[in-house]
Amino acid sequence: MIKAVRGTRDLLPPDTALWNFVEATAREVFRAYNFHEIRTPIFEDTQLFSRAVGEETDVVSKEMYTWEDRGRAESDHGQSLTLRPENTAGVVRAYIEHKLWDRGLNKLYYMGPQFRRERPQKGRYRQFFQIGAEVIGPSTAGSESPARDAEVLEMLATLLDRLGITGWTLELNSVGCANDRATYNEALRKALEPVASQMCVDCQRRAVTNPLRVFDCKVPEDQPIIESLPRISQYLDEPCREHFSHVQEILKSVGVEFVLNDRLVRGLDYYTRTAFEFTHGALGAQNAILGGGRYDGLSEALGGPPAPGIGFAIGEDRLVMSLQTSAEGAKAKPDVYVAPLGAGMNREAARLARELRRGSAIVELGDETFRLKKSFEVATKLGARYILIVGENEVKADTFALKNLASGEQVQVPRNELAARIVEK
What is the closest distance, in whole angstroms, from the C-beta atom of residue 298 to ligand HAM in the complex?
A: 9
Residue number with CB closer to ligand HAM (110 or 400): 110
Residue 251 CB, shortest distance to ligand HAM, in Å, is 18
Q: Minimum Å distance from CB 117 to ligand HAM?
A: 9
Nearer Cβ to ligand HAM (216/328): 216
Provide, rounded to whole angstroms, the least separation between the CB of residue 412 and ligand HAM: 52
Cα distance between residue 261 and residue 254, in whole Å:
20
Contact residues for ligand HAM, defined by CB under 6 A:
86-88, 116, 118, 123-125, 128, 130, 132, 134, 267-268, 288-293, 295, 311-313, 315, 317-318
The percent of the chain in helix, strand and coil, each rounded to the nearest 5, is: 45, 20, 35
Nearest Cα residue to 401 out of 341, 316, 323, 329: 341
Alpha-carbon distance of 236 to 232, in angstroms, equals: 7
Task: Work out the number of other CB atoms within 10 angstroms of the CB of residue 121.
Answer: 11
Burial code of 231-260, b = ≥16 C-beta within 10 A, e = fewer? ebbebbeeebeebbeebbebbeeeebebee
Q: Which is nearer to ligand HAM, 157 or 289 (CB)?
A: 289
Pick the closest to residue 404 from 380, 386, 421, 423 (CA basis). 386
What is the spatial distance between Cα 421 and Cα 413, in angstroms, rounded to a whole number?
8
Q: Considering the complex, what minimum distance in angstroms separates the CB of residue 195 from ligand HAM?
A: 27
CB-nearer residue toward ligand HAM: 1 or 285: 285
Instruction: Rank residues 124 and 415 by Cβ distance to ligand HAM and give the closer one.
Output: 124
CA angle (283 as vertex; 53, 172 as ends), nearest 5:
50
Please identify, using beta-carbon distances, which residue of 59 and 349 lies nearer to ligand HAM.
Answer: 59
Instruction: For the CB of residue 91, give the shortest distance to ligand HAM in the complex, in Å.
Output: 8
Q: How far apart are CA 7 and CA 128, in angstroms?
A: 9
> Least distance from C-beta 279 to ligand HAM, angstroms?
9
Pick from 279, 343, 303: nearest CA to 123: 279
CB of 63 to ligand HAM, least distance (A): 8
CA angle 10, 15, 16 (to 5 degrees): 75
Q: Which is nearer to ligand HAM, 269 or 394 (CB)?
A: 269
Q: Which residues contact 324 (CB under 8 A, 6 or more apart)?
A: 164
3-state secondary structure of 5: coil
Residue closer to ligand HAM by CB (options 66, 346) is: 66
